[in-house]
Structure 1
Amino acid sequence: MTLKNIVGIDHAVVVVKDLDAAAANWKSLGFTVSPRGTHSAKMGSGNYTMMLGPDYVELLGVLNETEHNAPTRAFLAKRGDGIERIAFTTTDAAVGAEEIRARGYTPIGPTDFERPVTMPDGSLSAAKFATYQWPYEEAPGGLRIFACQHKTRETVWIPELQVHANTAKRLKKVFIVTPEPETDAQHMAKLIDGSAKTEADGAVTVPSGGDRADFVFVTKDVLAKHFPGTSLAGIPERGGISLVFGVADIAAAEKAAGSADSRSDVGVVVPPSKGNGVLLAFVKD
């Protein structure tokens, strides 16, 4: 990794048509879900988060149609619920944006924004961010990428929100399904100045940086071999499809997921049909 201003995967953005229903669903799978956040009028969106150790998952919904959320609305219209984009942690959004500009990519942003946060003691605070995006057309395997600088980590990584019944600790892998895993993996590696490694089964892995989660590009056939016995009905031809979580206790993850899960050699698996378009896997960390 030669990009100096990104650390690795920060969070996965799962966009959903019904934000509150999605939050209830993820709660039923053993996640502690944050109070609902509302973004600015310009953004026109709202969110819930599932905070882990170094990273997290964001459920994002459109509350009001705006120019800013047009790409998200287009994604939902075409695919429905699912992983729309992945954020990297950046240490400095302004400097990071200039770093990718120097490599020939015109950044979108940096953009500063914030959302109100109710703290555990009932006081009102704010979560403040600065982000920049790679150009929309630079989406390896159909997965958009951006970088996020957390200016107020203490209002996002709240200890009470990091304890989950399923014992999830962190993201370990993000699977992207594509007819051309080698090409799309090399595309991702180029965007982040990383590397791609072809595995024996045909999957192609791109580390995101540091000890953060890896990207894994696979065909549908290879994805099925990674998650045997899991229904892949309705998954897209191309796009982010699975989040693999490292957990402290597999038995707790199985109990929390309940009837939604199916045990396999990889651990506890929830099919996309029960994970808002996301195949969720829980493995011992």
Structure 2
Amino acid sequence: MRDALIARGLTPQPILDLSRPLDLGNGKMADVEFRVTTLKPNSIPGSDVFYCQHITPDLVWRPEWQAHTNGCIGMTRLSINVNDPKAASELYLRAMDVVKLENTEANTCIIHLSNFEITLVHKTDKPL
């Protein structure tokens, strides 16, 4: 993971191998394991990027823990105000290893992921 980020011209922090005990709720405990890294602070405009590799995803991504009383099941898009959407989009594309970008206006770039999109827009006084 870290080598791939460096190859894309990014500056990841050292990878941390972490674990913690997890109460499974049935009287049993298990250790969840994961590896994490972040990019150097302030390297991506409008965002701090965090990478997490779940070593034991079956212990964390459990259907009984994914139901919410508010009915939310996921997000489909995110809008971020940045000073220079085009320059920021180049960094986001490298950070996520994607190339699908749409320039909709002079001050807006949309990054398309498989089930999500990120809109980078120049700061304005009007709401998004």
Matched letter for residue 17 of structure 2: D
Name the CA shift for 1:223/1:127 in 2 (closer, same or farther; >3 Å): farther
Name the CA shift for 1:193/1:222 in 2 (closer, same or farther; >3 Å): farther
Deviation of residue 175 (structure 1)? 1.9
* Residue in structure 1 matching 2:32, options 110, 113, 127: 127
Q: Percent identity?
A: 22
TM-score computed with the length of structure 2 as normaliser = 0.79
* 2:98 partner SS: coil
| Contact kept? 1:130, 1:148, Cα under 8 Å | yes
In structure 1, what is the equivalent of residue 120 of structure 2?
217
Deviation of residue 164 (structure 1)? 1.5
Name the CA shift for 1:182/1:164 in 2 (closer, same or farther; >3 Å): same
* 2:14 partner SS: strand
In structure 1, what is the equivalent of residue 110 of structure 2?
205
Q: In structure 1, what is the Cα distance between the partners aligned to 2:22 and 2:62?
A: 11
Q: In structure 2, what is the Cα distance between the partners aligned to 1:124 and 1:105?
A: 38
Aligned residues between the structures: 127
Alpha-carbon RMSD: 2.4
Name the CA shift for 1:178/1:223 in 2 (closer, same or farther; >3 Å): farther
Unpaired runs of 5+ in structure 2? none
TM-score computed with the length of structure 1 as normaliser = 0.40
Deviation of residue 149 (structure 1)? 0.7
* 2:15 partner SS: strand
CA deviation vs aligned residue, 1:129-182 (integer Å, no higher than 9, x gap)? 11222232422x231213211011122112221111222112212221123222
CA deviation vs aligned residue, 1:80-116 (integer Å, no higher than 9, x gap)? xxxxxxxxxxxxxxxx211122233343122100222
User: Quick check: 1:113 aligned with 2:12?
Assistant: no
- Decide which structure has greater helix share: 1
